[in-house]
Structure 1
């Protein structure tokens, strides 16, 4: 039994995806459909954005190229298997390609949704919560994180877990002025502070953003019941209806990502192999994944090799 996993979007350079997007036949088909939905050349915009050095964590062309590459790689992985995947899941932004892969959301509509959603998020954080960031860190177990959060509470410092990625890997949202103290405290606890993300992620504080996206973007999208069950990255539940998929994507704005719950559900379904479709330096590599499954990274470079089952299976 196998499953398809879509990682959360991470830093990707044009050079890492360009050859795949323009040369691989499956990727070219997705790019052509994206171009029709957008009314412009995605690859050209992606190249131009990097040349200009566009500001922001993930400019619009980067988000779109990530969506396209994830779905093209998933199709490559499925084509190499003897059976259809039992389930799929996406971490954070990976929920959108998961919705497409499941059959719940047509690809062209996912392209439009990605554009509108990203612009709404960018505009929101340009005017709201500009003092909040999300700090990622490793080597801090759940109980130790609880102690650190209790100290923050005692100091009157707002904080909220954005992502529980692994046994000892988390992302915590705080006020920017708290970051220096937090990094020192993490190191004192034996932790390893990593990167700080702006805009922040996954907080109940952003309920008004969720409502904006629901009313003005998601309500227009033609969701249907998924043909392949989706595992929620928020609580590990099984999503089997159109309304469930719609809520899953919206909940990405306000609810913590709890990746260990995804792995528990997949194990309970009998999944033994997981294909991680997309550029990934995190979600498929953590212990909760590698200890539970045979994890196969389906990347642009592997997809571009001569077709041999061993490159993906």
Structure 2
């Protein structure tokens, strides 16, 4: 029987309440092993800090998200029938994919997160005006492009950062411009749901991308991955360590197009996608293109509950 060709895919950093993942992080053996290493690298209790962190506490929140996601992936390889032919991630998820594929060690991944957060905070605090990224849905891509083009024609410096599908988008710019844009999004029938306190995936942060390369990414060790890495920038499969490093950096200045990821999976003849993360919003998108399942704390809990129920007492 032919072996199915699977993709391991790590979504971007989605705001998630600690209470919804706390049980998994505190009780699951895979999570405890990841947390233990993180505590040693970071020099403090990641769980205690993660429990109190806001999404804007970048070092803690991103480190916690990495430990959580990698633990879910560890569990999946041992408990789910998976034959990976590629590994990829969207936005911050690409860093998790680099670690899980072996292109970065877990320790280097944590060091990269910590060092990057310091550079990013310094960069954004030094900007003459506060920058951000507005996320919204209920407008299609054509409407978003027309809205942004009209806004730019009025003298506002905004850029589309994310085309997650034809309904979920994000636009980067100054917080002042995004406040005005949010009003226009609502008037057009869109629904804004989140504003991040930094811009990303846009040409205007090229200086930050270049600083991260020399001050952070050049100071960790990059290796060939166990599975080819799917670029969310070009849709290509990457195996060369330097190409992977440059691709992650270029994600800072390149808008995310979910269609690029899907086409990359199709080109690689992927037959099934496994989306690994605390929430399952990405499964809805991928499932339109190929069969998809999610690896979440709930899936782990349901699996373990079923195993306990089916265990025959001695």
TM-score, structure 2 as length reference: 0.89
Report how many residues are paired.
302
Change (3 A) 1:187 1:215: same
Checking the alignment, whether the CA contact within 8 Å between 1:35 and 1:41 is kept in structure 2 is yes
Taking only aligned residues, the RMSD between alpha carbons, in angstroms, comes to: 2.0
Q: What's 2:310 paired with?
A: none
| DSSP-derived class of the 2:281 partner | coil
Distance in 2 (CA, whole Å) between partners of 1:61 and 1:284 is: 26
Q: What's 2:106 paired with?
A: 107
Q: What's 2:61 paired with?
A: 62
Q: Does 1:259 align with 2:258?
A: yes
Gaps of 5+ in 1: none
CA shift digits 1:244-282 (9 cap, x unpaired): 111122123222111111011112222232111111353
CA shift digits 1:4-35 (9 cap, x unpaired): 11111121222222221221111111111222
Q: What's 1:132 paired with?
A: 131
Q: What's 1:84 paired with?
A: 83
- Which one is further off, 137-146 or 217-226? 137-146
Using CA pairs under 8 Å that are at least 6 residues apart, name the structure with larger relative contact order, 1 or 2: 1
Distance in 1 (CA, whole Å) between partners of 2:237 and 2:157 is: 32
Q: Does 1:295 align with 2:292?
A: yes
Q: Does 1:228 align with 2:227?
A: yes
Distance in 2 (CA, whole Å) between partners of 1:278 and 1:137 is: 21
Distance in 2 (CA, whole Å) between partners of 1:113 and 1:23 is: 27
Give the alignment of 1:99-248 within 5 angstroms.
99-128=98-127, 130-248=129-247
Distance in 1 (CA, whole Å) between partners of 2:89 and 2:129 is: 27
Q: What's 2:32 paired with?
A: 28
Change (3 A) 1:306 1:186: closer
Distance in 1 (CA, whole Å) between partners of 2:143 and 2:211 is: 36
Checking the alignment, whether the CA contact within 8 Å between 1:134 and 1:200 is kept in structure 2 is yes
| DSSP-derived class of the 2:225 partner | coil
Distance in 1 (CA, whole Å) between partners of 2:145 and 2:24 is: 43
- Which one is further off, 106-115 or 14-23? 14-23
Distance in 2 (CA, whole Å) between partners of 1:130 and 1:91 is: 27
- The ranges of structure 1 where at least 4 consecutive aligned residues each deviate by more than 6 angstroms after the TM superposition are none
- Alignment partner of 2:41 out of 26, 37, 44: 37
Q: What's 1:18 paired with?
A: 22
Change (3 A) 1:82 1:234: same
- Alignment partner of 2:301 out of 288, 299, 304: 304
Gaps of 5+ in 2: 308-314
Q: In the TM superposition, what is the alpha-carbon distance from 1:108 to its structure 2 partner? A: 1.0
Q: In the TM superposition, what is the alpha-carbon distance from 1:58 to its structure 2 partner? A: 4.0
Distance in 2 (CA, whole Å) between partners of 1:277 and 1:178 is: 34
